[in-house]
A and B are shown apart, each in its own frame.
Chain A
Amino acid sequence: MGSSNTRRDRPATTNQMVAYLMHHLQTLIFSLGKIYQSPTTTIMTVAVIGITLSLPGGFYLFLKNIDAMSGDFRSTTQITLYLDLKVEEGNARKLQKEIDLMQQVQSTDFVSRHNALETFRQSSGFGKSIDTLSANPLPHTIIVEPDSNADTFAVKTLLNRLRVLPEVEIAKLDTEWLERLYTILEIAKRTVAIITLLFACAVLLIIGNTIRLDIQNRYQEIIVTKLIGATNAFIRRPFLYGGIWYGLLGGLTSWLIVEIGYLAISGPLGRLNLLYQSNLVFVTFSLHDFIILLSSSTLLGLAGSWIAVARHLNKIEPT
């Protein structure tokens, strides 16, 4: 072709850029119009994506809350000192004051053996059998709360220092169950990661399949546009934008599903909070989470449609 002919009346370069961007914008809106024109397919696809993504989304939120709670537990790490039975209450209280002044100690609490027995009598239901005991088997206890910013090592050091005190029979750090909880949390986190990965693949397949059907439905249109000189990039574009829309709308739907689910269980959660006399704050998606959710669903949409387009579009040639 003579270049004078193909370039004839070509818009100037800046205008060409504008026209190119305009075309992208038009395609973006056009593809939205397309999916609006077939509401049933769109709603079904978007719903499937939304439900699929809401599962990892929900799990994520669940873990996020457990994590926040375990943060509370972390700050309640305590060392319990069971004193020797022979230690008198006066000495025990003096020891409590000494410990209270130690470094790395936030606060201390003293439970006398008498109080401990009373509490046990009331809460255990063994009141009568306890009355048959000739002597109180419980020791005085001092509950030591380490500095909130003390790390595990500092807490262990403190524990060792307290353990060797002559009055102390047993010094116990309540970390074993916490370590177990963290391990369980770690397992849960990895499980959620695997689930998220699998469901992301599912979304990829769903969008890929929808776009594939879309390509088949518009077979004739693709042929015609190829014959009038459309490049593959031009033909690809509306399908890619379609995938982006599916992903974005699916992400929004999943967010909505999780939020509604959260609202539905927030009532009982609040009551549970009351029952445990704790003041845990339950969290939902933050803006950051929301943006990550939407951008990853949009990216999944783009990737899914890209796969479909790469596999099916280039095979379509006029015959």
Chain B
Amino acid sequence: MIEFHNVTKRYPGGYDALNNISLHLGAGEMAFLTGHSGAGKSTLLKIISLIEKPTRGQALLNRINLNTIPRYRVPYVRRNIGIIFQDHQLLFDRPVFDNVSMPLVIQGYRPQEIAKRTRAALDKVGLLNKEKSMPITLSGGEQQRVGIARAVVHKPMLLLADEPTGNLDPILSREIMQIFIDFHQVGVSVLVASHDLSLIDELQKPVLTLNRGQLIENGLDENFQQTEYYSSVGE
């Protein structure tokens, strides 16, 4: 699903956010991406979601080369990913139903189909009775679940979550993580960036750990050995 071959992302000014990263997340696999802030978690997610391009190396999403994808194709590639944001990025000017159905509307589904799928997605996150509510009237946990429903409504092959529990208390965080595990169990590939190490330990899933732009732990690869390669910056 996701393949990185020696990916380096250098920002202007010579700062390497990612340094020679190689990893492989297979179809239907789930992993956590962790590391201190500034370690490169967000940059890695941005490369997968086509917000940034690698400076060096190759990034593949389902065998599509993300380095060379033309601009006009970007929206279509993104439709294969469901993205969940830390601050859920809901649109507060429209009710829950309209928020969740957006990916389907964008992809031109028929109205009946949109209604059916949107309700199914809301049902999965336990918010079927809130479809007419405005997002502002919901609690933080509920808002995040609306965000998840929007990310999964079009049945993407890959779920990307960037600190999805960052603003939630431990009980709600566990609930949210359980939703991701449920999707993983029905065959969706899931990559969750989180720094909630105790929760990650509890969930027993492979962990990818980044430190200063380098991958220092790769739970997806049994033969992984940390290369003694240090960033020229910050050492």
Q: Is A225 a contact of B102 with CB atoms below 8 Å?
A: yes
User: What residues on B are CB-neighbors of A319 within 8 Å?
Assistant: 51
* A234: interface (CB < 8 Å): yes
Q: Is B91 a contact of A221 with CB atoms below 8 Å?
A: yes
Q: Which of chain B's residues has its CB closest to A220's CB? A: B89
- A209 CA / B110 CA spacing, docked (Å): 34
Give the interface segment out of A8-16, A57-65, A263-271, A295-303: A8-16
User: What residues on A are CB-neighbors of B91 within 8 Å?
Assistant: 220-221, 224
User: What residues on B are CB-neighbors of A87 within 8 Å?
Assistant: none
User: What residues on A are CB-neighbors of B103 within 8 Å?
Assistant: 228-229
* B197: interface (CB < 8 Å): no
* A181: interface (CB < 8 Å): no
* A20: interface (CB < 8 Å): yes
Report the minimal beta-carbon distance from B139 to chain A, rounded to whole angstroms: 20
Q: What are the interface flags for B96-110 relative to A under an 8 Å C-beta threshold, 1 for contact and 0 otherwise?
A: 000000110111111
- A20 CA / B108 CA spacing, docked (Å): 6
* B44: interface (CB < 8 Å): no
* B228: interface (CB < 8 Å): no
User: What residues on B are CB-neighbors of A19 within 8 Å?
Assistant: 108-111
Report the minimal beta-carbon distance from B89 to chain A, rounded to whole angstroms: 5
* B83: interface (CB < 8 Å): yes
* Cβ-defined partner of A234 (8 Å) among B72, B93, B106: B106
Q: Is B113 a contact of A11 with CB atoms below 8 Å?
A: yes
Give the interface segment out of B73-81, B174-182, B217-225: B73-81
* Cβ-defined partner of B75 (8 Å) among A5, A20, A23, A231: A231
- A225 CA / B94 CA spacing, docked (Å): 14
Q: What are the interface flags for A183-196 relative to B under an 8 Å C-beta threshold, 1 for contact and 0 otherwise?
A: 00000000000000
- A221 CA / B151 CA spacing, docked (Å): 15
Q: Which of chain B's residues has its CB closest to A319's CB? A: B51
Q: Is B155 a contact of A8 with CB atoms below 8 Å?
A: yes
Count residues of chain A with CB under 8 A from any CB of chain B: 32
Q: Is B78 a contact of A229 with CB atoms below 8 Å?
A: yes
Report the minimal beta-carbon distance from B23 to chain A, rounded to whole angstroms: 20
- A221 CA / B110 CA spacing, docked (Å): 23
Given contacts A11-B113, A225-B102, contact A230 B108 (CB under 8 A): no
Which of under 10, 10 to 19, 20 to 34, or 35 or more describes the interface residues of B?
A: 20 to 34
- A9 CA / B62 CA spacing, docked (Å): 19
Q: Is A11 a contact of B106 with CB atoms below 8 Å?
A: no
- A144 CA / B192 CA spacing, docked (Å): 99
User: What residues on A are CB-neighbors of B157 within 8 Å?
Assistant: 5
Chain B CB count within 10 A is highest, among A15, A221, A227, A319, for A227
* A260: interface (CB < 8 Å): no
- A11 CA / B113 CA spacing, docked (Å): 9
* A226: interface (CB < 8 Å): yes
* Cβ-defined partner of B106 (8 Å) among A1, A220, A225: A225
Q: Is B75 a contact of A230 with CB atoms below 8 Å?
A: yes
- A221 CA / B93 CA spacing, docked (Å): 10
- A232 CA / B106 CA spacing, docked (Å): 11
* Cβ-defined partner of B107 (8 Å) among A227, A229, A317: A229
User: What residues on A are CB-neighbors of B61 within 8 Å?
Assistant: 1
Q: Is A1 a contact of B75 with CB atoms below 8 Å?
A: no
Q: Is B51 a contact of A318 with CB atoms below 8 Å?
A: yes
Q: Which of chain B's residues has its CB closest to A224's CB? A: B89
* A173: interface (CB < 8 Å): no
Q: Is B109 a contact of A229 with CB atoms below 8 Å?
A: no
- A94 CA / B150 CA spacing, docked (Å): 100
- A257 CA / B89 CA spacing, docked (Å): 44
Q: Is B108 a contact of A11 with CB atoms below 8 Å?
A: yes
User: What residues on A are CB-neighbors of B93 within 8 Å?
Assistant: 37, 221
* A22: interface (CB < 8 Å): yes
Q: Is A227 a contact of B49 with CB atoms below 8 Å?
A: yes
- A262 CA / B15 CA spacing, docked (Å): 69
- A23 CA / B107 CA spacing, docked (Å): 10
Chain B CB count within 10 A is highest, among A19, A26, A319, for A19
Q: Which of chain A's residues has its CB closest to B147's CB? A: A224
- A228 CA / B106 CA spacing, docked (Å): 8
Q: List 8 A-B contacts (CB under 8 A).
A: A1-B77, A6-B79, A22-B110, A26-B105, A227-B83, A229-B106, A230-B106, A234-B106
Residues of chain A having any CB pair with chain B under 8 Å? 1-2, 5-6, 8-9, 11, 15-16, 18-20, 22-23, 26, 37, 220-221, 223-232, 234, 317-319
The 5 closest A-B pairs by CB, nearest first: A229-B79, A229-B78, A231-B75, A230-B106, A229-B75
Given contacts A1-B77, A5-B80, 17 further A-B contacts (CB under 8 A): A1-B76, A2-B62, A8-B155, A11-B108, A19-B108, A19-B110, A23-B108, A221-B91, A227-B89, A228-B83, A228-B103, A229-B75, A229-B78, A231-B75, A232-B75, A318-B51, A319-B51
